[in-house]
Structure 1
Amino acid sequence: MADEKTTKHTCNDGRGPVFGRKTPNCPRCDELANGAAPVKWTWTSRRDDDARRAAEIRNHNCRTSGCSVICTFGDW
């Protein structure tokens, strides 16, 4: 995920390079041209959260939890 310490792009109104074309005099483009590693986005935490929520819903037991006639577990 993008780090708070990552230099921000100033090119293209802060949206970054278009089609990967780096812009001269943009601080982040200059860093990338000089060999800085590009930002890598990760979705593993989102995937793990989804898997955890699905497991909680599957393992929910209304009888032991004392749910009423209509169970609202997991409706948040």
Structure 2
Amino acid sequence: MKHTHGPNFGRKVDGCGRCDELAAGAEPVRWNGSARRDEEERRIAEIRAHDCRTSGCGPVCTFGDW
């Protein structure tokens, strides 16, 4: 469930479903960046494993470019 209000700097708001869940003991969301780090590691591994000869790249390889 999402909060029904804007940022409130850790204070609970009466009538907000998520605040009620937190007051009842639900775990707060933790943002530790692990998903982003895992995605970056996967992309780096893909780029390192790329072989221009088998892929038939031209003189300038653009593999992994966005």
List runs of 5+ in structure 2 lacking aligned partners. none
Tell me which residue corresponds to 2:2.
8
1:46 to 2:49 alignment: no
1:57 to 2:47 alignment: yes
Q: AA paired with 1:49?
A: E
1:23 to 2:13 alignment: yes
**Aligned pair count?**
66
Sequence identity (%): 62
**Which 4+ residue blocks in structure 1 deviate beyond 3 angstroms?**
none
For residues 36 and 56 of structure 1, the distance between their equivalents in structure 2, rounded to whole angstroms, comes to 38
What is the deviation of 1:42?
A: 5.1
Q: Which has the higher contact order (CA 8 A, sep 6+)?
A: 1
What TM-score does the superposition give when structure 1 sets the normalisation length? Answer: 0.65
What is the deviation of 1:63?
A: 2.0
List runs of 5+ in structure 1 lacking aligned partners. 1-6
What TM-score does the superposition give when structure 2 sets the normalisation length? Answer: 0.71
